[in-house]
A = this chain, B = another copy of it.
Amino acid sequence: MRNRLKALGSALALVFLLCLAAQAADPLPSWNEGAAKASIINFVDKVTRADSRDFVPAPRRIAAFDNDGTLWIEQPMYVQFAFVLDRVKALAPQHPEWKDQQPFKAALERDLKALGGFGARGLVELTAAVSTGMTVSAYERMVEGWLRTARDPRFKRPYTVLVYQPMVELLAYLGANGFKTFIVSGGGIDFMRPWTKRVYGIPPEQVIGSSVEVTYELRDGVPVLMRLPKIRFIDDKAGKPVGIQSHIGRRPIAAFGNSDGDLEMLQWTTSGKGARFGLIVHHDDAKREFAYDRDSAFGKLDKALDAAKAKGWTIVNIKEDWKTVFPPEQGGAVR
């Protein structure tokens, strides 16, 4: 009996070790086996294998990722909107005119439907009004301070842990395969840059987003970059390929999005020569996250869903394709 138990123990230990090894070998452990996961691995394999006819040299392995709804949550509203609404509220006493003026009125009334309708432009307009007249560094500190204390209304966790674990694994997997990954978001470039390296492993120079005008000045002899209350660029819809050209100067070979704001980026990416990859995250998991698409105020996915079907882009259905949605809680530690 004692020997049998010992043998069973050894066998179990072996199975456990084999499981660990299998897990270690799987670069995308939070993805369920299925067509979506297989399409990713197949694409990476064919562009990286030296003897593949679809081989792409490492410097041209450029991948573009939307942020809101693709890498982190965007419901009940874009995270940056939550930040901006707090600022609007704080500054409202000095701006009585906002009560009757859009998009401020919607912001003060927390009218999410209306705010969603204003889209990236509304976000950038509000940002330009409430977080300019300060240096870029002061703004970055303000964003970091806000992210430390702000909590998501549903999950009661910091926004920077409400990132999609399967997508974070995908970023790492692509990086390990010689890809350079870029964020290409309608959100503010300076709102993302302070934390994308820590949270996604993406350095500031690989972040593309909407922006306000910035000017270089000497203040008491000290050089500063001041944020001006004027929109410079809106990195959304047809702006995304333009932002990509401006920052990267070449066409990505893979693009990842989740809404109609990403349609042109996916069109542009997948219409280049050679092997190309397009992926749409479809939020259909109300239990673990949110379910929304064609009628959503934020992250509306309508035309891009039809295009994905027509063009053969990979559609990720969260409910069936993701084993887990968010990273495991680590004793409530804030990233």
Per a CB cutoff under 8 Å, which of B190, B225, B241, B271 touches A241? B225
* Copies of this chain held together in the complex: 2
Q: How far is the CA of A218 from the CA of B268 in the complex (A)?
A: 10
Which B residue's beta carbon lies closest to that of A140? B249
Tell me whether A108 is interfacial, beta carbon within 8 Å: no
A247-B205 contact, Cβ under 8 Å, with A242-B216, A242-B225: yes
> Are A193 and B249 closer than 8 Å at their CB atoms?
yes
- Is the beta-carbon distance between A205 and B250 smaller than 8 angstroms? yes
List A224-267 residues whose CB lies under 8 Å from chain B: 225, 238-242, 245-250, 264, 267
B247 touches A247 (CB 8 A): yes
Q: Which B residues lie within 8 Å of A211 (CB)?
A: 246
How many chain A residues sit at the interface, stated as a range, is 35 or more
Residues of B near A190 (CB, < 8 A) are 249
Residue A136 at the B interface, CB < 8 A? yes
Contact of A216 among B207, B216, B264 (CB under 8 A): B264
The residues of B that contact A205 with a CB separation of less than 8 Å are 62, 180, 205, 247-250
| A191: min CB distance to chain B, Å | 11
Chain B residue at smallest Cβ distance from A196: B249
Give Cα distance in the complex from A218 to B59, angstroms: 27
CB distance from A193 to the nearest CB of B (A): 5
Tell yes or no: A23 within 8 A of B by CB.
no
**Closest residue to A213 on the B side, CB-wise?**
B242
- CB-defined interface of A78-119 with B at 8 Å, one 1/0 digit per residue? 000000000000000000000000000000000000000000
A241 close to B216 (CB less than 8 A)? yes
Q: Give Cα distance in the complex from A239 to B213, angstroms.
A: 11
Q: Name the residue in A216, A222, A239, A241 with the highest tally of chain B Cβ atoms < 10 Å from its Cβ.
A: A216
In this complex, what residue of B is CB-closest to A267? B223
- Taking a contact as CB atoms under 8 Å apart, the answer to whether A250 and B204 are in contact is yes
- Asked if A148 CB lies within 8 Å of chain B CBs, one says no
* Residue A189 interfacial (CB < 8 Å): yes
> Which partner residue on chain B sits nearest A215 by CB separation?
B242
Instruction: Identify the interface centre among A189, A214, A245, A249: most chain B CB within 10 Å of its CB.
Output: A249
Write out, one digit per residue, whether chain A residues 174-212 have a CB within 8 A of any chain B CB (1) or not (0).
000000100000000110010001000001110100010
Q: List 17 A-B contacts (CB under 8 A).
A: A59-B197, A189-B246, A190-B249, A204-B250, A205-B205, A205-B248, A205-B249, A205-B250, A215-B238, A216-B238, A216-B241, A216-B268, A222-B271, A223-B241, A223-B267, A223-B271, A225-B242
What 6 A-B pairs are tightest by C-beta distance, nearest first?
A204-B249, A216-B238, A216-B241, A193-B249, A205-B248, A223-B268
